[in-house]
């Protein structure tokens, strides 16, 4: 941020009174800009024991497979956002069962949420965001072509829990070090 | 947002290509501003069966009691943020045990997270943000002087779960309608 979104004046990076972090502060109108982490919300869409994945038709990670997920928007709940993204990316109508994973990724200022969800029908299709949408058996998951490490982690948790027949909530952190050693 | 944070030009509210929502878009440099929900993260700090509450020394809800919580910051995880806020607001060092509640509040574009946490020591104090910090027995909680409905809901869930000796994860939505009927 270089200019004040309220008045257009150039901003300074300073620590406001009563704060302890550098913020973009406007010397003209005193507007303080708070830049906070964003929530990515999505689903693990299940249908008769299979998982729905989407092949990305957009950057980043064009051509790789992902669980349907995207930025949570204003005026919605986390689960509404998850179902909206599932519909937008895969054309399918799902129902959230439970929050399954919450993954903080501090170096990119994101928190990823994935819900266990059930597809109402065997009904999905390619979309503007997904060149291909398909149901995968658990032993067919394209591990080497997954788009994001939060997706890989979530799918691994799912397969592990499925062995025991109990689905727990999983909280994780993905760090830059971890990524480079993957 | 009225001016582009990148170049200072006046922005227009339009729906960008491939999007379906109004965004502030800069006609000069093409910067698109995405305004997304924010995460508030905090704890239910426990010490020998009591709960630590903070009396707010700042607006909003000055003078009311709250669980320690605040805006998640960039470069931290949800639990790191919760412990940072606990330290900043109550002077106490805590340890997160498990995520206990996640409450979406769509009309103010927030998601509130509360962790069950244990205080390491009986050591806390008033701070810039809290005029008073105190441990409460469960039957002493000042229900009529609680600052936020997400705090009331979380404390009610806690007391309910404690009866059964099992602490579950609770997901909730607070709507404007609900608030006005409280
Ligand atoms: Zn300004
Ligand atoms: Zn611009």
Encode pLDDT of B65-117 as tens digits: 999 999 999 999 999 999 999 999 999 999 999 999 999 999 999 999 999 99
Say what the pLDDT of residue A119 is. Answer: 97
User: Tokens 């404390």, residue?
Assistant: B155
- A129 and A172 part of one domain: yes
Give the pLDDT of residue A181: 52
B114 and B28 share one domain: no
What pLDDT does B77 receive? 98
Are residues B159 and B121 located together in one domain of the fold? yes
A52 and A28 assigned to the same domain = no
Taking phi over 0 as left and psi of -120 to 50 as alpha, with beta for the rest, A83 belongs to: alpha
Alpha carbon of B9 to those of A8, A33, B59, B63, B149: distances in Å? 7, 17, 33, 42, 40
CA distance A161 to chain B (A): 17
Q: Indicate which CATH number applies to the domain containing B76.
A: 3.90.79.10
Which residues does B52 contact at the CB level (< 8 Å), separation at least 6? B45, B46, B68, B90, B92, B119, B124, B133, B134, B135, B136
**Dist. CA A105–CA A103, nearest whole Å:** 6
User: Structurally, how many domains does chain B consist of?
Assistant: 2
Cα separation of B51 and B31, whole Å?
A: 46
Number of Cβ pairs < 8 A linking chain A and chain B? 113
Share of chain B above pLDDT 90, in %: 93
User: With bands split at pLDDT 50, 70 and 90, how would you rate the model's confidence at B150?
Assistant: very high
Give the pLDDT of residue B113.
98
Q: Which residues surround ligand 2, an ion (CB under 5 A)?
A: B 4, 6-7, 9, 26, 28-29, 31
Q: In this structure, are B98 and B145 located in the same domain?
A: yes
Q: Find the B38 Cα to ligand 1 centroid distance in Å.
A: 22
Q: Shortest CB distance from B99 goes to which of A5, A80, A102?
A: A102
Q: What pLDDT sits at residue A138?
A: 97
**Low-confidence residues in chain A, pLDDT < 50:** none
Out of A1, A18, A36, the one facing B39 most closely (by C-beta) is A36
State CA B61 to chain mean position distance: 14
A68 and A24 within one domain: no
Q: How far apart are CA B57 and CA B81, in angstroms?
A: 20
Q: Cβ contacts of residue B171 below 8 Å, gap of 6+?
A: A78, A79, A99, B101, B102, B103
Looking at the fold, whether A28 and A62 belong to one and the same domain comes out as: no
Residues A115 and A128 in one domain: yes
B179 or A34: whose pLDDT is higher? A34
pLDDT confidence of residue B149: 97
pLDDT value of position B38? 98
Which ligand gives the minimal distance to the CA of A25?
1
Q: Do residues A76 and A121 share a domain?
A: yes
What is the per-residue pLDDT for B18? 83
**Position B120 pLDDT exceeds 80:** yes
Query: What is d(CA A33, CA A26) in angstroms, rounded to the nearest whole number?
Result: 8
Cα→Cα distances B45→A8, B63, B102, B165, Å = 43, 20, 16, 17
Compute the distance from residue A36 Cα to the ligand 1 centre, in Å.
19
Identify the domain containing residue A9 by its residue range.
1-35
Tell me: do A62 and A126 sit in the same domain: yes
Residues A85 and A71 in one domain: yes
Residues belonging to chain A with any Cβ–Cβ distance to chain B shorter than 8 Å? 1-10, 18, 21, 24, 33-39, 71-80, 99, 102, 104, 106-107, 109, 111, 128, 169, 171, 173
Shared-domain flag, residues B101 and B119: yes
CATH label of the domain that carries residue A15: 2.20.70.10
> Which tokens go with B27?
């006609």
């Amino acid at each position: 941020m270089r200019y004040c979104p309220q008045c257009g004046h150039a901003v300074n990076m300073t620590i406001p009174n009563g704060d302890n972090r550098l913020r973009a502060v406007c010397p003209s109108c005193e507007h303080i800009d708070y830049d906070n982490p964003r929530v990515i919300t999505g689903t693990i869409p299940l249908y008769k024991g299979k998982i729905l994945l989407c092949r990305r038709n957009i950057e980043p990670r064009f051509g790789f497979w992902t669980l349907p997920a995207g930025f949570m928007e204003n005026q919605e709940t986390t689960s509404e956002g998850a179902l909206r993204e599932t519909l937008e990316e895969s054309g399918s109508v799902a129902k959230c069962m439970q929050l399954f994973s919450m993954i903080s990724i501090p170096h990119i200022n994101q928190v990823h949420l994935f819900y266990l969800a059930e597809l109402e029908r065997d009904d999905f299709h390619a979309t503007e965001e997904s060149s291909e949408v398909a149901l995968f058996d658990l032993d067919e998951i394209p591990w080497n072509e997954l788009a994001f490490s939060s997706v890989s982690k979530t799918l691994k948790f799912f397969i592990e829990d499925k062995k025991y027949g109990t689905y727990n909530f999983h909280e994780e952190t993905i760090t830059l070090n971890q990524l480079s050693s993957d």
